[in-house]
Amino acid sequence: MAKVGIVMGSDSDMPIMAKAADILDQLGISYEMDIISAHREPDDFFEYAKTAEERGLKVIIAGAGMAAHLPGMCAAIFPLPVIGIPMHTTSLGGRDSLYSIVQMPTGIPVATVAINGGANAGILAAKILATSDAELLAKLKDYSEGLKASVQKKNERLHEVGVKNY
């Protein structure tokens, strides 16, 4: 049974949403992934959101662009955490998506990551699940150690070769 639902408003969102899926794959977290437009197919959307809890989902990661209502409407219906990913847009640079997703009314939060923040959405979903999963928490600590090691390696290289040869 999938623990995380990844849903996006259009297949044009896929390159960013795939980054969230990639993190979940790395951490061994089961997920289901769907393209469902709240605007273009509202009935399908309501069916998706209304049945999400009984399907076993613990977190939904929802990405959308422009007038990005998908994450907020997921949060209006699904009783567990919703993480929103605002898509970059050509007309308004993703500020339209960001404001649409982050400016939720009191009582209906969406945990909003950065514009195009697909990987962080995956990590945040994992951290939510890790509050009750010690094995997953250990994997997340390893992931953080890997980040630390990669920065330290870059610093060592800088000191070895100098700024001109970096």
Residues that bind ligand RP5 (CB under 6 A): 8-10, 12-13, 37, 64-66, 87
CB of 85 to ligand RP5, least distance (A): 9
Considering the complex, state which of residue 86 and residue 122 has its C-beta at the smaller distance from ligand RP5. 86
CB of 10 to ligand RP5, least distance (A): 3
Q: In the chain, at which residue ranges do the beta strands (DSSP E only) sit?
A: 4-8, 31-35, 59-64, 82-86, 111-112
84 strand-pairing partners: 62, 112
| Distances 139 to 58, 81, 91, 130 between C-alpha atoms, Å | 19, 21, 39, 9
CB of 136 to ligand RP5, least distance (A): 29
CB of 16 to ligand RP5, least distance (A): 9
Considering the complex, state which of residue 9 and residue 117 has its C-beta at the smaller distance from ligand RP5. 9
Considering the complex, state which of residue 63 and residue 122 has its C-beta at the smaller distance from ligand RP5. 63
| Cβ–Cβ < 8 Å for 89, 111 | no
| Cβ–Cβ < 8 Å for 104, 75 | yes
Considering the complex, state which of residue 14 and residue 137 has its C-beta at the smaller distance from ligand RP5. 14
Give just the sign of the alpha carbon dihedral 32, 37, 43, 46. Answer: positive
